[in-house]
């Protein structure tokens, strides 16, 4: 994964925590690979946090 994609994915994570939902800002679109990885991580995180 390119550094640029990692940066965008981190921004997507911040957006997720800010809105508490999977919201993808048009300015910071994650690659599909990054997005699916983050969704998987977010689901696991949500399960653990609850």
pLDDT digits (tens, 9 = 90+) for 1-50: 455 555 556 666 665 555 555 454 444 455 566 667 666 766 665 555 44
- Structural domains of the chain, count: 1
User: 38: which residues sit within 8 A by CB, 6+ positions away?
Assistant: 9, 12, 13, 16, 30
Q: Cα(5)–Cα(32) distance, rounded to whole angstroms? A: 10
pLDDT of residue 50: 41
pLDDT of residue 43: 66
Range of the domain at 43: 3-49
């Amino acid at each position: 994964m390119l550094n640029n994609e990692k940066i965008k994915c981190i921004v997507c994570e911040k957006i997720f925590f800010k809105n508490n939902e999977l919201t993808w800002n048009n300015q910071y679109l994650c690659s599909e690979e990054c997005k699916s990885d983050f969704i998987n991580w977010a689901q696991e995180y949500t399960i653990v946090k609850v």
